[in-house]
C-alpha cells in the first residue's frame, strides 16, 4: 500500500520498502531564490491535492571533488532551490523517538540524501523516525551582507526552520514531537554546538549528539565583511549580487576558498543579530540546554584525512614540525612537541613528525573542543557521555587510521554502501561494531543514555575522571585518555 501523510501544508505520497516508509523531498521552506536569496527561510504555504514525496530534492549549491567519494560525499544534483527534508519511519501510527541529522562537509558540501545516511537502517533497527535535510551552503548560506538584509547565518536559520518543522509535523509520521534528538557530524556537529547557545534554537531539540564537532570560534565579523567585499567587487557592487547566476557565485566562492594567501571561510558568523549571544557562555551556564542529555566524541585520528590525503606532508621533518607548531603554540612550540612525543612513546604510538603533527591537529580542531563542551555541559547536566571512536580504516594501506568521517557509516548501518566497503572494510568485526554503534545511538535517542548490554559499564562524563568509551575492535572505558596532551592545552592561554 502506498503511504500517505498529511502535514499542515498538504498531503504527501511516499514509498514503502523493506517494511520502512519513506517520504523524500519534503519542502520545509520556500525556495530561497531571487529576492529570497540571502533571506531567512520562509515557511511553505499550503498546496492543493497530493504532492509526490518519493524522490530526494536537489542538494544545496556546492562543488565536490573526487576525494569526497572515499568518505561518502558523492556528486549530486544541485540547485539553489534546496530546502528539503527526508523522513524514514516504521509506521504513521504511534509515537516514536525522532532522530534529526545535520550533515557535515565544512559548510560547503554535503546533503541529506547521501547513500551513507540512508535512514531505513536506523528506523528499522530501533523503531524510530529518522530525518535528514539540506541547508544552504558556502556563500549562499554564510554571506554577511546587511545591505541585502543578510546576517550571514541564513544556513543556521535553515537548520532551525527544519527542526521547527519537525517539532510541528513529525506526529503525522509516527514520531514523538516531545522526544527529538539532533545529531550531526563535523560541520553538522559544530553547527549543533552553535545552536546549543542560540536563543532562536531554544526548544528545537531535546537530546544532543555532536560527532566530531563542538564549541569552536565563529568567523569574526570583520573577516566576513572582507569576504563580502570581494564578492561585491567581483560582480560590480553588492546591490547586484542577487542577480548573479548561482553558478557564477559558486565559481567565485571556490576561487576565494582556494586562495593561498588568505582563504575565505564560510561558517557561522559573529553577526550580532542571529548569533548575538555568547554561545560558549550559554553552553557553560546551560541557558538553553540545561538538563538535555549530551553524547559527544570524535575519532582517534581525525586529522589523517587532511594530513595524509595528497601526500603534501609526507616529507615533514622535525624542523618543519616545530615551524608548524609555532603557528599554534608560539614560544611553547618545542615544549608542546616534546609533550606529544613523550606521551606517544609511552603508549607505543608513532612519533614521526607527521604522526605528531596529525595528533596536534586532531586535538586542536576536534578532541579539545569536545572535552571543553563536555566539561561545560556536565557541570549542570549529569547525563553527559563521551566516546572515542578508534576503529582503523583499511583504506590507503591503513594510513588513515580512525580518520574523520569514518564513524558515520557505522552509526547509520551503511558500511556496505557504495565506497563504504573500501573505507570501512567488511566482515564480522565491522558488522558487530556497526550494530553496537547503532544500538547505543538508538538507546540514547529513546532513553537519554547510551547504555546497552553489548557494551561495558559506561559512567557519565565528569571533569574528575573523564570516563571515555573506546568504540572499536574492542570496546572499553578509559579514564582521562591522552591526559598529558589535554593538560598541555589546558595550560595555554584561552
Instruction: Show which residues are catalytic.
Output: 186, 302, 404
- Give 293-336 as a DSSP string: -EEEEEETTTTHHHHTTTSTTTT--HHHHHHHHHHHHGGGHHHH
Of 103, 100, 104, 70, nearest to 88 by C-alpha is 100
From residue 189, give the alpha-carbon distance in Å to each of 71, 147, 193, 216. Answer: 17, 30, 6, 10
Residues 6+ apart with CB under 8 A from 341: 351, 356
Which pairing describes strands 84-89 and 20-27: parallel, antiparallel, or unpaired? antiparallel
Backbone angles phi, psi at 288, to 5 degrees: -115, -10
CA angle 123, 169, 73 (to 5 degrees): 50
Following DSSP, what letter does each residue of 35-88 receive, concatenated?
GGTTS---PPPP-SSEEE-SSPPPBPS----THHHHHT-----B-S---EEEEE
What does the block give as the cell for 148?
Answer: 541585502
Cell numbers 542560540 label which residue?
198
Nearest one of 459, 24, 381 to 196, comparing CA atoms:
381
Q: Is residue 251 a contact partner of residue 166, using CB atoms and an 8 Å limit?
A: no
Mind giving me the DSSP string for 378-392?
Answer: HTT-S-EEEEEE-PP
Give CA–CA dist 367/483, Å, rounded: 11
Angle at which helix 483-491 crosses helix 368-378, to 10 degrees, equals 80
Q: Rounded CA gap, 398 and 359, in Å?
A: 16
Cell of 104: 557535515
Count of C-beta atoms within a 10 Å radius of residue 243: 10
- Spell out the residues 6+ positions from residue 98 whose beta carbon is closer than 8 angstroms to its own: 128, 129, 130, 131, 166, 170, 175, 176, 177, 179, 180, 181, 445
Q: Which cell numbers hold the place of 277?
A: 549571544
Give the separation between CA 60 and CA 77, rounded to whole angstroms. Answer: 9
Cell numbers describing residue 392: 582503523
Q: Which candidate, 59, 210, 220, places its Cα nearest to that of 144? A: 220
What grid cell was written down for 399? 594510513
Amino acid at each position: 500500500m502506498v503511504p500517505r501523510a498529511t502535514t499542515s501544508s498538504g498531503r504527501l505520497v511516499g514509498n514503502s520498502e523493506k517494511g520502512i516508509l519513506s517520504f523524500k523531498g519534503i519542502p520545509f521552506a520556500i525556495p530561497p531564490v531571487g529576492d529570497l536569496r540571502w533571506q531567512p527561510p520562509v515557511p511553505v504555504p499550503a498546496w492543493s491535492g497530493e504532492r509526490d514525496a518519493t524522490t530526494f530534492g536537489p542538494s544545496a549549491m556546492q562543488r565536490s571533488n573526487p576525494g569526497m567519494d572515499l568518505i561518502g560525499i558523492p556528486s549530486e544534483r544541485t540547485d539553489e532551490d534546496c530546502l528539503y527534508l527526508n523522513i524514514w519511519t516504521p509506521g504513521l501510527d504511534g509515537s516514536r523517538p525522532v532522530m534529526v541529522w545535520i550533515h557535515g562537509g565544512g559548510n560547503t558540501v554535503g546533503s541529506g540524501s547521501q547513500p551513507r545516511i540512508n535512514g531505513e537502517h536506523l528506523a528499522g533497527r530501533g523503531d524510530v523516525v529518522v530525518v535528514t535535510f539540506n541547508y544552504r551552503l558556502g556563500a549562499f548560506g554564510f554571506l554577511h551582507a546587511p545591505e541585502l538584509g543578510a546576517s550571514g547565518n541564513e544556513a543556521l536559520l535553515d537548520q532551525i526552520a527544519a527542526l521547527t518543522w519537525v517539532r510541528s509535523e513529525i506526529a503525522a509520521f509516527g514520531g514523538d514531537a516531545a522526544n527529538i534528538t539532533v545529531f550531526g557530524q563535523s560541520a553538522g556537529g559544530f553547527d549543533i554546538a552553535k545552536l546549543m547557545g542560540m536563543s532562536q534554537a531554544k526548544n528545537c531539540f531535546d537530546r544532543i549528539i555532536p560527532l566530531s564537532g563542538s564549541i569552536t570560534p565563529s568567523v569574526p565579523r570583520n573577516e566576513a565583511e572582507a569576504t563580502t567585499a570581494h564578492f561585491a567587487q567581483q560582480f560590480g557592487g553588492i546591490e547586484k549580487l542577487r542577480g548573479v547566476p548561482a553558478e557564477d557565485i559558486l565559481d567565485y566562492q571556490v576561487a576565494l576558498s582556494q586562495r593561498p594567501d588568505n582563504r575565505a571561510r564560510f561558517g557561522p558568523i559573529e553577526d550580532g543579530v542571529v548569533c548575538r549571544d555568547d554561545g560558549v557562555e550559554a553552553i557553560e551556564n546551560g541557558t538553553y540546554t540545561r538538563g538535555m542529555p549530551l553524547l559527544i566524541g570524535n575519532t582517534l585520528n581525525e586529522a589523517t584525512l587532511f594530513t595524509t590525503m595528497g601526500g603534501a606532508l609526507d616529507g615533514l621533518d622535525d624542523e618543519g614540525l616545530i615551524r608548524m607548531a609555532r603557528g599554534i603554540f608560539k614560544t611553547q612550540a618545542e615544549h608542546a612537541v616534546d609533550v606529544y612525543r613523550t606521551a606517544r612513546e609511552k603508549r607505543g604510538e608513532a612519533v614521526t613528525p607527521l604522526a605528531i603533527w596529525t595528533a596536534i591537529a586532531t586535538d586542536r580542531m576536534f578532541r579539545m573542543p569536545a572535552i571543553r563542551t563536555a566539561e561545560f555541559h556536565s557541570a549542570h547536566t549529569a547525563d553527559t557521555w563521551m566516546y572515542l571512536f578508534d576503529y582503523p580504516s583499511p583504506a590507503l594501506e591503513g594510513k588513515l587510521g580512525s580518520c574523520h568521517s569514518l564513524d558515520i557509516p557505522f552509526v547509520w548501518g551503511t558500511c556496505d554502501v557504495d565506497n563504504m566497503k573500501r573505507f570501512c572494510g567488511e566482515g564480522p568485526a565491522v558488522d558487530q561494531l556497526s550494530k553496537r554503534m547503532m544500538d547505543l545511538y538508538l538507546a540514547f535517542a529513546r532513553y537519554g543514555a547510551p547504555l546497552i548490554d553489548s557494551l561495558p559499564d559506561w559512567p557519565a562524563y565528569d571533569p574528575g575522571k573523564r570516563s571515555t568509551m573506546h568504540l572499536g575492535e574492542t570496546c572499553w572505558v578509559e579514564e582521562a585518555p591522552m591526559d598529558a596532551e589535554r593538560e598541555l592545552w589546558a595550560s595555554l592561554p584561552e
